[in-house]
Structure 1
Amino acid sequence: MENQKKKIMVAIDESEYSRYALEWALQNLHASIANNQLLVFTVQPISDYSYLHASAYGATPPELIRNIQENQKKVALNLLEQAKELCKKYGVTAETITEVGDPKDLICEAVEKSKVRLLVLGSHSRGALKRAFLGSVSNHCVQNVKCPVLVVKKTA
């Protein structure tokens, strides 16, 4: 068990904050990351299609929904490909994972399922009021995962 590589996960989204967190981790935790297994994880959100206009038959066109879902998947895969390229610049090979659902829950589930030893997240630096209304993925993960969590805040 001691010889097994430990898993480090960086959860990313499309924000500049998560890209910053990934790059920060690659720069500052390079030795740890290079000697272990890096997982880069992103979540495709579940979309609310209720805003789409109903067709003449009173239903949301399934083709339109499929197109939206396919586009979200392409965006997620592109994001992960960019992350892999960034990792390569630092000489690190990363495994990428994407899931569909609520980021708060899926990040926690992925940490548990993959037996992650360190979770790295970016901070959107929202104020207390915005966090209260919008929620905070990083705060949720800090409270719920069973491994250390490093929240990287982008400085000016």
Structure 2
Amino acid sequence: MGKILVPIDGSPNSVRGLEKAIELARKTDSSITLLHVAMLPPIHVVGHPLDKVKRSLAKKAHKFIKDAEDRCINENIQSTTKLIYGSDPPYDIEQFARKYKHDMIVIGAKGKSTLKRLFLGSVSNYLVQTTKTPVTVIK
């Protein structure tokens, strides 16, 4: 298969997505890219310099990113990790998958943004509807 993109946000559903991706990677001799999109607040809301906001977001994500990396290492799956900053995770994930030519996206059915999902639809639904990259949604 090649390259599997796994968006992670620390939620139990993103962990289930990672577990399935590890299983698929093992069966197909593929590598995994762990992707976290840190949501930047609108500039007018931020009372701190942007680099300070980014450091804070990275610090908050460090534990679950490290846990995801350790899962891959423990399963002898080649992986890379990417932390990007954005304002629209579904779009950012789609663009990342396209730019780096991933063969598949494996994503948990629901992440942390329940309120946003209620009004805008889920990240996984957006990806299934818009990306040309095959998407496997794990419930």
Q: Deviations over 1:106-138 (max 9, x none)?
A: 100011011111100001189xx9744142110
Structure 1 contact 40–83 (Cα < 8 Å) conserved: yes
> Is residue 2:35 matched to residue 1:12?
no
Q: Determine whether 1:39 maps to 2:33.
A: yes
CA contact (8 A) 1:43 1:76 kept: no
Structure 1: 5+ residue runs without aligned partners?
A: 53-59
- AA aligned to 1:39 is T
Q: Residues of 2 paired with 1:70 and 1:61: CA distance? A: 11
Question: Would the aligned equivalents of 2:9 and 2:111 in 1 still touch at CA under 8 Å?
Answer: no
5+ residue gaps, structure 2: none
Secondary structure at the aligned position of 2:52 is classed as: helix
2:117 maps to 1:116:
no
* 1:93 paired residue among 78, 82, 93: 78
What TM-score do the two structures reach when normalised by structure 1?
A: 0.75
SS of residue matched to 2:103: strand
Matches of 1:14 and 1:84, distance apart in 2: 12
What CA RMSD, in Å, does the superposition of the two structures yield over aligned residues? 2.5
Contact 1:7 1:37 in 2 (8 A): yes
Tell me, in whole angstroms, the C-alpha distance in 2 between the residues paired with 1:131 and 1:72: 21
CA contact (8 A) 1:46 1:100 kept: yes
Measure how far apart 1:25 and its partner are: 2.5
| Structure 2 residue 54 is matched with structure 1 residue 69 | yes
TM-score (structure 2 length as normaliser): 0.83
Q: Which residues of 2 match residues 48-67 of structure 1 at below 5 A?
A: 48=42, 50=44, 60-62=47-49, 66-67=51-52
Larger Rg: 1
- Alignment length, in residue pairs? 136
Deviations 1:55-109 (A, max 9, x none): xxxxx353xx543321101233443222110111211120111111121111000
